Each structure stands twice: as structure tokens, then as C-alpha cells.
Structure 1
């Protein structure tokens, strides 16, 4: 490893730097005023640093990536800073071990918003988390292509609802998902490590917990929510294959657990929009690839409901998404309202937790924020929430942007 780095990175940089210093020495001998040379070098260095700082601020989601993994700063310096200095910074920072997620021991402390346990009779709570799913491309929300024929029917029956005006808390999966499943807020992620996650709360109230995921739970993009996922009693991954999730659910619902909390994490509608097959193309021959992935996800959701219906279980089910999408552009951008506009669908066999229960979390501006997910799940799991804290969180409708800025959602363009 070190030998490869020396040949590919360090040796060429040393040769180039030595040549540059030789060139400067020759120039210096021919300059009457050496202070001019010093001034020029200092000016060049200062300008380079300023330009690097500007680049960091302007680069989409780079600040967030650096906060998540310091090695990203090393990579940026290596790419942007000339001569051996950039290479040295890269090697130094790359040697840093990002181990903040290493300790996955159970956390004992509940968040201060949780005041008590209360009786509930919700036996199976299922959260399906979609990926990069823009609500306006769902025919269930009025899109002109019939992208969601199954969901339109499934969530239009009694005790079901297709919720309008829902938005995510962040345009980046790792932040949005962690703010759904832990008491991490846009202002501070300390509660991710100091307070029980929703998964740990479920276990503390007698639920067996399951994570059925299509996406990775390690690395730059997955470690934050992976830290939470690894607290589950049962964790299964499909390597980006949503088609396997329904079969995994069959096994989950065949065990002898009395109460279950199940998270199903889809690959869904992520770039490059290739999560579809010939069935989807035949159904929507004139649709864009993104729409085909929505249609395919609709089939996945239908397969999940087939399993639920075959098992004849009581359940509370939420289907939402980590964030939206600027179609054919992506997400994780500093601007773009469509990155935050998501679906929210709900179905329950428990009349105590009907659609009015979900609507109670809507704020004064008429939006249901992704920051409310943790509180919705807490109540479904049998916890009482401090009403003042809930009201303050509900009405302070803010988002965490791609570059770690906190912004009222109403100001997102």
C-alpha cells in the first residue's frame, strides 16, 4: 500500500516540487529585490487558500460529507491544492480513523421528550422508507402517467390515507433517515449517541425489531443510519435488490414474536434510475426512466401488502421517503424544493391510530415534516410525548440543507 502511494503520488510530487524550487532559485538569482519574490509567494499561497475555502462552500454537499467523514477533506485537498502540500494533507487526514459509529451498545437514556410508557395494542408496526421519491410523480397524487395503480387502491380504503403536503428534513439519506429514527435534529446530532433510537425504544417496550434493507449500512452514505440499523434484533440486506424484500418479510412474519417493529429500506428511485424491468416498460411505454422506477416501487409495495394480507396480521404501516428528487438532476443539492417534497401514506387496522392521528402532527403552515416521524413512531410504539416539546418541534418547521445550513422550510426555493 505505502509502496504504491510512493510511486503514484509522493515521488511525482517530490520531483515536481524539487523542480519548482530549482526554478525559483534561478529566478531569485536574477532578481534584485528578494522581498518581491517572498511577497509573490505569500500572495500566491494566500490566494490558493482563499480559493480552496470558496470551493468548499460552493461544492454541493461537501461540507456535509466532510462533517460525516474527515477523509473527504483530505481527498478535496489532494484534488485542489498544488504541490506536495495537498498530497501531505491527504495522507495525514486519510490516516484518521472515523470510529464515531463503532460503539453500537444499547443506549440507556430516553430523550427528554419521552415522558412515560402507555398502553397500546399495536402488534406490528411497519415503516417502509423509500428513496429519492418525488410525490408529484405518483399517480396517487395526480400524476398523468399511471405510475402507482396498486398504491392508489391500497391507501384509498378505510383507515388509510394518502397524505398531502409532506416534506423531508434533509435532501441527504443519512441525515433524513437518522432524524426519522433517532432524536438527532438539524441543530445537533449529539442525541444520536446520547438517547435511545426508535429501534431501541421499540425493544424497550417489548417489540422484536427488524431491519430489511436494500442499501448499504456502512461507508460515507450509510454509516449514520447504519449505526441505528445495527441495533436491530434481526438485520438483513439485499444488495440493492428491492425484489427480495417481500420474501424476507415472509420469514419475519413467520416467527413467533408477539410484537414486531419492522423497517423496510428501499433502493427505490435513486439515480441512475435503472431500478425497473420489462414489466414496467410495457405498462408505461412512453414514460421516463424515473417514472418506471416509481411503477416498479409500486409493485414492490403491492408484494409487501400481499404478504401482510396472507399472514392476516393487525398492523400500522407508514410508507414515506427519505427525500424527494429533482428528476434527471438528483438530490443533495443546496437549492431545489423538489428535493424535499415526498409522499406519505398510512394504513392501520387499529381505529385508535387512524388518519386523524397522523394529521395531528401537521404544522400551522399545513405541512407534515419528516422531523415528526420519530414522534409518530414513538406514539405507535406506546410512548407518551411531552406535549410542549412536541408542539414546539412541530411548529418550528426547518430543514437541514445539503451544506449543513438550517433553514425554515418555507424559505427553500
Structure 2
């Protein structure tokens, strides 16, 4: 009887090991599973470790929905946790199938029962203990030995710790490291916003009265007809754009990391890290250049928790938010991007001698896609979420048309640029789209110009990085900065194709774009319905 109970407890420990790795979002590996199993059979019988393991498994059960979508703890997850209000948290959980909650409740109940009631094995086999220790040390030791002949920016201890494939250690270490990066960067940003632009301006020669930057949300270019998508969801851009640029690579795959780099100067401290110099942003540059500056946002501004983008928006001489004191959630239902248009009309009706920069930050194609639609679904694809996504892009195209119609109404020349902050990757057997830094398509975004002084259309196919994009935007506005960069030294169409482009991953480190996986659009050749 005793041996059967002992065998049963070993089976339970092994099953717990397999489940834990999955719940925390790590890839299933033999060493992760075995190390978890060994720690349970060696240590769980002691009260301190029983409590530690019990609490950790309950935390893993609650973390599982986040891991399912976004993987182990990373800067993107920590940023979302601290820069999201209660309404958006509710919205995130409202996207989850009901069985997620049932499974979580069941797991929590089972874990509590196991760690309170189950007798864990008493293992004293020295050979087994030695094997477990060797397994724990193998990867770290191997990484240290391999790094000895080469130069590295990391200490041997750091290299070894990074190779420990023990889920409990990996999870809590990732939480700490991601939190440290987030709060360090946030503190640096808070210090930056006390300053004004520090990039010297050589000359200011705007060729238009009105410059409008439209920042879209979560749009990958291969879902736009202007870039070859089979559904005609960008009729205005396809026919009226003056430049359709195919090749802009966003700096990051989530808004809070990508937008600051797209519209602010990027400071590279080494070949692995980069930070946005928030005071050197397109709005502060325009202010110093003598422009009137405006920020119109349907993304919202949190009350007590100021997210990164509103810190940049605060540089504008005038700002307008459709949502006061919130980002997105139940209170924002029914507040669509078109609410920005009356404010745009009001601004343009005020005749002003200075040139204007107006930034319009859209909700666009933010998940949940169907909730973004002001009107009915316009394109029927195989899945509702994809149908809504494609239709949301059509509504953004309509908004761009309305923006230009308002500009034309006042007979003032203009130049409008539209780009998205980041793309998305397919999920759930191509039935949905989610943030995912591991795919090139999460960084491949539209980049389109509309100009009152040009009637022809050019299509440019050159890959360019979203880092230092603020130089390109400054040049477009006729502002010459004292910087040496292709974006400043060349006219738009003469900017050379770039190679070895890097992007930000979810560890806040630079990663080669070319090494990312590809996520083809399965609907690109689907027949129209």
C-alpha cells in the first residue's frame, strides 16, 4: 500500500511539473519539467517549501490567461499591468472564453487541495539528488564555458543565471527584471519631460500650412488593399495617396514601446538597448520651430497613471481627448475615432498665420476589433474577428478621407502622413490577431502620404527603420535638424533601403528583424464575399 501511495505521489508531482511549465508560458523542455519534478519530490514535504510551491502554483493558475496570449513575464506585460485602468483590464478578460475562467478556478482548487492534503514523497536517494544537481548546473556551466573565449557584456554569474531552466526561478526572475526595466525607464522619462527639445534646429522652411500626422493602431500592412490585400478596404488611400511606402518597420510590437520611438529621438546605449528621448519629440521640435501644435487623441489619457504617449502629447500647445481620465474600457464604448473630426474642424476654422502640426492618435484597429466599429461589418471573411479587423481598417480609411475633406474645406495647403504604431500576428488558428513580438508582420506597418500639391502617386519599396523616424518627420515638415542621418540628409523618395534593421523585443532589447518568423496572411488570396 505504501509503495502505491508513493508511486501515486510521484505521478502527481510529475504532472504538476508539466502543468506548471505550460501555465507560466514557457516552452516544454525536459530540463524544466525534471527540475520542477525533482524540487517537488525533494522539498515539498517541508512546510516552508510546501507553502512556497502552493502559492506559486496558484499564481501560475491566475497568470495562465496572460501567458496564453503574451508568454512569460516581459516588459510589455509589466507595462500593460501598470499603465492600464480597471476598465481595460475588464475588457481584456472579457475577450477570454468562459472555459478559461472555469479551468483557472478548477486549477486553483486542485492546487490548494494538493498542497494542503497530499503527502509528498520522502526521497533520500543520493544518486538521484546528484543527478538533479547536475541537471540544474549543466546549462549554466555550458554557457559560461562557451563564453570564455569571446567578449561579453555580461558577467559569468549573469550568464549562468540566464541559462537556469527552472520555471519558478525563471518566472520570478523575469518579473523582477521586467519590473526593474519598466520603472527605470519610467523614471528616466519623467526626468526627460521636464526638458524641452535639445536637438539644434538649423532652418525652418515649411512648404505647407497644415501638417497632420495620423497614428493608426494595430494595423499590419498586408491587411490593406493599398498594399495588395484582396478586399477593397482602403479605397481612398489606394486612389488618392501620393506616396504609398512599402517597408516601414515599426520599432516595437506594442503601442507604449513603438509610438515614443516613432515620434521621439532614439538613444542607443549599446547594440542591445535603446531608449526614447521623450523631450526630443516631433511636437517639441515643432514648438521650437514656430509651429502651432495640437494633439487629438481617441486613445485616452489615464488619470493618476500617466502612460508614455500622453507624456509626449503634453508638449502640444493644445490637446483634446475624447476620454477623460481613462484609456479604454466600458466608459469608452461608443467613442469612435470620428469624434476627433469636429475638433479638427474647429482648429482649422481658426485662421492662424503660423504653420500647424496636428497629431491625431486613433483607436483604429485596437482589439477587440468588433468593438471598434462605428458601423456594421463591411467585409465578411471566415471569422468574425477577422471580418471586424478588415472593416476597422476601412473605417480608418474613411476617417482619412474625412480629414482631407475638412482640410480642403478651408482652402489651405496640407500634407498628411498616416502610419500605424505596430502590426499583429495571427492567433487561434488564424481566427484572431494578437500582439506577438516574434513575427515580422508585427512590425510591418503602413506608411502613406497625402499632399495637396501633388496629384501623382508613387509606390516605394524600401525597408526603413522606425527608429529616428522623428528626423524623417522633421524633414517632411521643412525643419532641418543638426543631425547626421539618412532621414535628414535625403529627400523622402531618396532615402536609401536599410539593412540589418533591429526592433525591440519584449525584454526591451534589440533583436534583428530578419531573424523574426514570418506570419503570412491566409486571407490575402481569399475570394471576396
If the length of structure 1 is used for normalisation, what is the TM-score? Answer: 0.70
Q: CA deviation at 1:46?
A: 8.5
Q: CA deviation at 1:104?
A: 8.3
Q: In 2 relative to 1, CA 269–126 (structure 1 residues): closer, same or farther, beyond 3 Å?
A: same
Equivalent position to 2:260, from 178, 193, 198: 178
Q: CA deviation at 1:347?
A: 2.0
* Deviation per residue, 1:285-308 (Å, 9 max, x gap): 557121111122121111111111
Measure, in 1, the Cα distance between the counterparts of 2:421 and 2:485.
23
Measure, in 1, the Cα distance between the counterparts of 2:295 and 2:206.
22
Equivalent position to 1:298, from 370, 378, 397: 397
Measure, in 1, the Cα distance between the counterparts of 2:54 and 2:482.
51
Q: In 2 relative to 1, CA 396–45 (structure 1 residues): closer, same or farther, beyond 3 Å?
A: farther
Equivalent position to 1:347, from 432, 450, 455: 450
Q: In 2 relative to 1, CA 106–117 (structure 1 residues): closer, same or farther, beyond 3 Å?
A: farther
**1:399 and 2:503 equivalent?**
yes
Q: In 2 relative to 1, CA 37–297 (structure 1 residues): closer, same or farther, beyond 3 Å?
A: closer
Conservation of the 8 A alpha-carbon contact between 1:321 and 1:343: yes
Structure-to-structure mapping, 1:283-294, within 5 angstroms: 283-285=378-380, 288-294=387-393
* Deviation per residue, 1:125-162 (Å, 9 max, x gap): 1100110112111112221111111221221xxxx111
Deviates more, 1:134-143 or 1:386-395: 386-395
Per the alignment, residue 314 of structure 2 pairs with 230
Q: In 2 relative to 1, CA 386–231 (structure 1 residues): closer, same or farther, beyond 3 Å?
A: closer
Per the alignment, residue 31 of structure 2 pairs with none
Q: In 2 relative to 1, CA 135–38 (structure 1 residues): closer, same or farther, beyond 3 Å?
A: closer
Per the alignment, residue 209 of structure 1 pairs with 293
Measure, in 1, the Cα distance between the counterparts of 2:509 and 2:192.
28
Q: In 2 relative to 1, CA 256–101 (structure 1 residues): closer, same or farther, beyond 3 Å?
A: farther
Equivalent position to 1:60, from 67, 71, 74: 71
Measure, in 2, the Cα distance between the counterparts of 1:147 and 1:372.
30
Q: In 2 relative to 1, CA 201–405 (structure 1 residues): closer, same or farther, beyond 3 Å?
A: same
Deviates more, 1:143-152 or 1:283-292: 283-292
Q: CA deviation at 1:338?
A: 1.9
Conservation of the 8 A alpha-carbon contact between 1:169 and 1:340: yes
Q: CA deviation at 1:62?
A: 3.6
Q: In 2 relative to 1, CA 108–273 (structure 1 residues): closer, same or farther, beyond 3 Å?
A: closer
Per the alignment, residue 255 of structure 1 pairs with 350
* Deviation per residue, 1:320-353 (Å, 9 max, x gap): 10011225544432322221121111122457xx
Measure, in 2, the Cα distance between the counterparts of 1:220 and 1:61.
27
Equivalent position to 2:363, from 261, 267, 282: 267
Per the alignment, residue 20 of structure 1 pairs with none
Identify which of structures 1 and 2 has the higher relative contact order when contacts are C-alpha pairs closer than 8 Å and 6+ apart.
1
Per the alignment, residue 151 of structure 2 pairs with none
Measure, in 2, the Cα distance between the counterparts of 1:175 and 1:355.
32
Equivalent position to 1:409, from 508, 513, 517: 513
Equivalent position to 2:480, from 384, 392, 398: 384
Measure, in 2, the Cα distance between the counterparts of 1:311 and 1:399.
40
Q: CA deviation at 1:188?
A: 3.1
Deviates more, 1:259-268 or 1:241-250: 241-250
Per the alignment, residue 196 of structure 1 pairs with 280
Per the alignment, residue 30 of structure 1 pairs with none
Per the alignment, residue 244 of structure 1 pairs with 339
Per the alignment, residue 373 of structure 2 pairs with 276
Measure, in 2, the Cα distance between the counterparts of 1:331 and 1:315.
35
* Deviation per residue, 1:87-137 (Å, 9 max, x gap): xx99xx9xx9x77666786623524xx562243333211100110112111
Per the alignment, residue 7 of structure 1 pairs with none
Measure, in 1, the Cα distance between the counterparts of 2:276 and 2:228.
40
Conservation of the 8 A alpha-carbon contact between 1:171 and 1:331: no
Q: CA deviation at 1:390?
A: 4.1
Structure 2, unaligned runs of 5 or more? 1-41, 84-107, 116-171, 324-334, 488-495, 518-529
Conservation of the 8 A alpha-carbon contact between 1:321 and 1:342: yes
Conservation of the 8 A alpha-carbon contact between 1:120 and 1:381: yes
Measure, in 2, the Cα distance between the counterparts of 1:219 and 1:336.
33
Measure, in 1, the Cα distance between the counterparts of 2:410 and 2:72.
43
Measure, in 2, the Cα distance between the counterparts of 1:57 and 1:390.
40
Q: CA deviation at 1:271?
A: 1.0
Structure 1, unaligned runs of 5 or more? 1-35, 73-79
The DSSP-based 3-state class of the residue aligned with 2:349 is: coil
Q: In 2 relative to 1, CA 41–337 (structure 1 residues): closer, same or farther, beyond 3 Å?
A: farther
CA RMSD of aligned residues (A): 4.2
The DSSP-based 3-state class of the residue aligned with 2:401 is: helix
Per the alignment, residue 467 of structure 2 pairs with 371
The DSSP-based 3-state class of the residue aligned with 1:191 is: strand
The DSSP-based 3-state class of the residue aligned with 2:196 is: coil
